[in-house]
Amino acid sequence: MQNEKIALVTGATRGIGTETVRQLAQAGVHTLLAGRKRETAVELALKLQAEGLPVEALQLDVADADSIAIAVEQVTQRHGKLDILVNNAGILVENPALAPSAQPLEAWQSTFDTNVYAVVAVTQAFLPLLRKSSAGRIVNVSSVLASQTLHADPASDIYDFKIPAYNASKAAVNSWTLSLAYELRDTPIKVNAVHPGYVKTDMNGGEGEIGISEGARSSVQMSLIDADGPNGSFTYLGEVLPW
């Protein structure tokens, strides 16, 4: 159906990504569960379909240009548009026990490959389909650890969380969000960054303060904003965060 909203969530085969797919589908959005391994994406999509949810598997390796191109072609053929893009895929490969200057350059490179360059590449590739939406939404999953303001404040909760490559990569995502939001300011497309919260996931070894269900809420809420919603914001459950 042409009036049906189509969403795509990257990095959706685990944790916050899978839950974001679930919650968008529960809201009535036909949601593409994108993952690097097709078998895993299909398995999860079938489970959600069994719950009566409108979910579809999509193979997408965000770090592979050919994979991105094939995914764009598949979405074009099946749906002809994209209403919501949630750039959720991300990695954290640094050892928090190491000092910032001791983090190897390879960790910086791999972190930026996935957390920054892949976000830009996927967004650029799917933007033509988002332009065909009557109200496109791009949600970039960032982190409060991107906040330069809070990192400079000894009284802030994140002051001691100096994971330099990851933090810098999410700050770059925020900067990209602002640039793209500016470019698209006179279109129906809105671009925003969100902090999911300190969520218990595989990425942080199960540490965290909130569950995955709550961790997906910021992405889902920003995906579903109406025409009066923000553009170029950085929020957590609607609360504006400092850059």
Q: Buried b / exposed e across 24-53, counting CB within 10 Å, b at 16+?
A: bbeeebbbbbbbbeeebbbebbeebeeeeb
Which of 166, 190, 198, 200 is an active site residue? 166
170 tagged catalytic: yes
- State the amino acid at position 53 in one-letter form: L
What is the distance, to the nearest Å, from the Cα of residue 21 to the centroid of all Cα atoms in its chain? 11
Q: Are 76 and 6 in contact (CB under 8 A)?
A: no
Euclidean distance between CA atoms 169 and 2, whole angstroms: 36
Which of 5, 81, 170, 200 is an active site residue? 170
198 tagged catalytic: no
Q: Are 86 and 18 in contact (CB under 8 A)?
A: no
Q: What are the catalytic residues?
A: 166, 170
